[in-house]
Amino acid sequence: MENEKTAVKSLEAMLNMLPEDLTNEEKEKVAEIRGMLKNISKKIDREE
Amino acid sequence: MTKEQIDRLIGAVQCGDRKELAKFISDIKLRKDYLTSWRKDYDTEHKIEIAVYRDIMAQIENDGYEYFYSKTLEDESARELLTGLHDPEKIMRCFEDSDELEFDNCDKIEMIKSSRDVGLIRACLEGKIDGVRPDDEQKLRLITASRDIAFMKECIAGDVKVRLSKKDKQVLIASSGDIEFIKEYIEGKLKGVRPNDGDKRHVLEMSGNVDLIASCIEGKLKGYNPNDMHKFYLMLPVVQELDDEVKLTVLKGRVHENDQLGEILATFSSLSEECKKYFEEYLAYRRLPTDNLELPFKILTNLGPEAFGGDRAKKRLAPEAINALGEETIYSLFNYNAASWAVDRKAIEIDKIIENPEMFHAYEQFRRTFAQEQPTQFMDKRNAITEFSKYASLIGECLSGPLTSEETAILQAVLQDGQVQINSKEELPAFPEKRKEMVEELIGDDPYNALCYLLTGKNSTEYYFVNAGQLTRAMQDFGKESADFAITKALNEFIELIGGGMSVTQQKKVLRAYNNDLQNEFTAEGSQVAEFRKAFRDIELQIRRMYGKELADTLIKDELPHGEADEKGNETIQLAGEDFKMLVCGIDTYKQGTGNFAQMARGKKYISTTLISEKHLSKAGATRYYGFRNIGENALVTESNYAKYPHPLTELERESEFFSADKLSENNQVNQVMLRREYLGDDGKMRDITPDYIVCFDGMIDDGDREEAKRLGVPIVVINTQEYEKRVKENSEEKAEPAVEVPAEYENTKKDMMDILRNARKKCTVKSQRVAMGKIIAEMEKELQADKNMMH
């Protein structure tokens, strides 16, 4: 699971590196991806 | 579809005559699966109409399209809007009511495409039309649909906010059919593209323009390098345009890839005896079983390396090469299509391996510390050969002495990356900077490719995007809700966010930030991008193999009854209701053919089959069927639950669509299962797809079937279709649920509500109406479901 954890963590970090002046639509998409990553983290925790 | 047919269809829909509708669908050979969804979900007349015409839209010509809409929609305003299909303003107004009209993204894109209006297409490409989001393929089709060369040029030059890869641009130019446009590309005059010889050749080959290709081959087209001409794939119509001398020169360079060699030879007005012998022996080689190297060696000795594409082939067959790599690897290099493609076009050299076989073996050990294991040994071997050939001096220097942990990490990254040339140990620290420069250039040329490379380490042609639907299906089919699947889903969304929707300026800003971050990979600070790249696992292969294994296992699950010799000496197996699964491949469907599998199989990379079973016998018409039950899990290329792939096939391996064996034949369509003719067996050795049976239906065995069965040494399976149809009918009657009537009041109430909302249009916004309508319908659906449950 370490590999998956790293993937989630680094994807989150890359989302944080996005500029702040995103359009509303882009912000919604970012929020959607964050939600997906959160769910993956939960899944990983459950499986551990 | 004719207007008469449309009238018939509408009549059936309006009368609610399901039998007539089903007959109509069958008569005009439409997809039938909509009937299933109709029964399940579409419980109002209006929705039935929509269900029907959504599926037939693709089959109606432009005139009929308007006629169909005008006849089917009761709503005056909708009719007015829809009859103006080519009027951009009307189309936009129509989109405002898209919820009510049940237009989804694809419907809207189709309407924009059929308008051919450059303004509308441009707005769609630039994401300026609410709720319309074309994917990359749809964007390309939209641009093509404009048929406006000036607009295409703007798109290629980057003046329109649309991301086109190098390949997209090539497709656009080649498919335009505009000779001047193609010439401008070849001459290097188009803004936004910098084609090399191979690109030019590729565009010319794709264009299929015989005159242009012939001009190039003859060295008459300005801008095309005459030294590259022998690399052309020779199509028969082009060959006919060339004189014998030119033809022979070009043919010799491409003989190893040409499956029309026999036909091409027939176009020569005269051919020397030596040439005839040369080609005849080569043709004989192509017909050989793939585990025999004797003849290639003989041809090489007698006829020279040109027979296999040049000096490189000669080196591959030299005794030193066999000593260094082993006969098995050499044989695989020759016979595995993908490998030979890579060897011949990507210039895999083995000179370095021949010079220093011990170092190559040491490298094979070293690469186990960093490379992901490939599904077969040969793939590992092939990658090792490629990497060693490219970085031989670097590897030699590094593996001959001690390495620091940082040097080891960079060396592994260099070898894994394969795109940045580092020649010595001393140059290793320069790798992050060199890679950054390369990515910076890529961001300028092809930002989408740069994005894929930054995130996955692969370029956009190497990264297989597994779509969300496929991911969900795989999770359901294999009960696999694993994190790596979900990560791929998130990654695809991430790529879509940056690569699909952002402005070019914003996109480049993001890519540069990631590129700067990646540069820190080997510093104490570290890099998040590099962390992700290391953790990234391409799950496409995993999914492909899961489905490949499921298919291979399903095929052999049920044992067939024992065969018996018939009066003419053929072993026959009678199937009259027994469970079975089998892939069948029909030959000579459309034309008089050879009736011979060995002939048909030559030179083609894929074989198209259909899965049939005790539940499903739909198949395409053919004069002979071959049956397959023993395939390896690596043979599967892609699947479709309806006949989808035309010939010739291009880029099929990037389709990545799979279904479980049960779902594949769920809708009574002729499904399609594409297999590789040559595939890597589970033991890492090459295998050929060979028929296990000749398959006949209802006792109709002809002499040709018998001869072919004897030639192949396989039994004949005879399927009694009536027995299976009877069985399917009995099963469906047993399972049929009692029909539940939809209360008439429900329909009436729903219609009344629709009327109220339509009249309310002037008083509130379309959006408010949609919200209100959605809530009301949802409540009513709940009530209806509750009523249905009570009735059960």
- pLDDT value at position B703? 86
In chain A, which among 7-36 make CB contacts under 8 A with chain B?
Answer: 7-11, 13-15, 17-19, 21-23, 25-26, 29-30, 32-33, 36
Q: B24-47: per-residue pLDDT in tens?
A: 655 654 433 333 333 333 333 444
Q: B533-581: per-residue pLDDT in tens?
A: 988 887 877 888 889 999 999 999 888 888 888 888 899 999 998 999 9
Decide if B502 and A26 are in contact by the 8 Å CB cutoff. yes
User: Could you tell me the sign of the dihedral formed by the alpha carbons of B203, B207, B212, B217, in that order?
Assistant: positive
Q: How far apart are the CA of A38 and the nearest CA of chain B, in angstroms?
A: 11
> What average pLDDT does the segment B681-687 reach?
69
Ordered strands of the B571-575 beta sheet: B564-565, B571-575, B716-719, B693-697, B624-628, B581-587, B606-613, B672-676, B636-640
For residue B419, the 8-state DSSP code is S
Every domain of chain A and the residues it spans: 2-47
What's the rounded Cα separation, in Å, for the pair B178 and B392? 46
Give the mean pLDDT of chain B. Answer: 75
Question: Which residues in chain A have their CB less than 8 angstroms from residue B486's CB?
Answer: 36, 39-40, 43
The residue of A16, A40, A44 whose CB has the most chain B CBs within 10 angstroms, and thus the best one to mutate to test that interface, is: A40
pLDDT category, B128, cuts 50, 70, 90? Answer: confident
Question: Could you tell me which residues come within 8 angstroms of residue B72 by beta carbon, excluding any fewer than 6 positions away?
Answer: B10, B13, B49, B53
Task: Give me the residue from A7, A21, A25 closest to B487, CB to CB.
Answer: A7
SS3 B334: helix
Question: Which residues in chain A have their CB less than 8 angstroms from residue B511's CB?
Answer: none
Contacts 24+ apart (CB under 8 A), B703-706: B704/B595, B704/B624, B705/B624, B706/B568, B706/B570
Among the ranges given (B367-371, B424-428, B588-592), the one the predictor scored with the smallest mean pLDDT: B588-592
The residue of B502, B514, B534 whose CB has the most chain A CBs within 10 angstroms, and thus the best one to mutate to test that interface, is: B502
pLDDT category, B97, cuts 50, 70, 90? Answer: low
What pairs with residue B584 in β-bridges? B610, B627
Size of interface A-B (CB pairs under 8 A): 79
Q: Roughly how many angstroms between the first and final C-alpha of chain A, as a whole number?
A: 8
Q: B234-267: per-residue pLDDT in tens?
A: 777 888 888 888 877 777 655 555 556 677 777 8
Pairing of strands B606-613, B564-565: unpaired
Q: B350-407: per-residue pLDDT in tens?
A: 788 888 889 999 999 999 888 876 656 667 787 888 889 889 999 999 999 899 999 9
Element containing residue B687 per DSSP (H, E): strand B686-688
Every domain of chain B and the residues it spans: 343-537, 542-733, 744-791
> What average pLDDT does the segment B6-25 reach?
63
Question: Could you tell me which residues come within 8 angstroms of residue B147 by beta carbon, excluding any fewer than 6 positions away?
Answer: B116
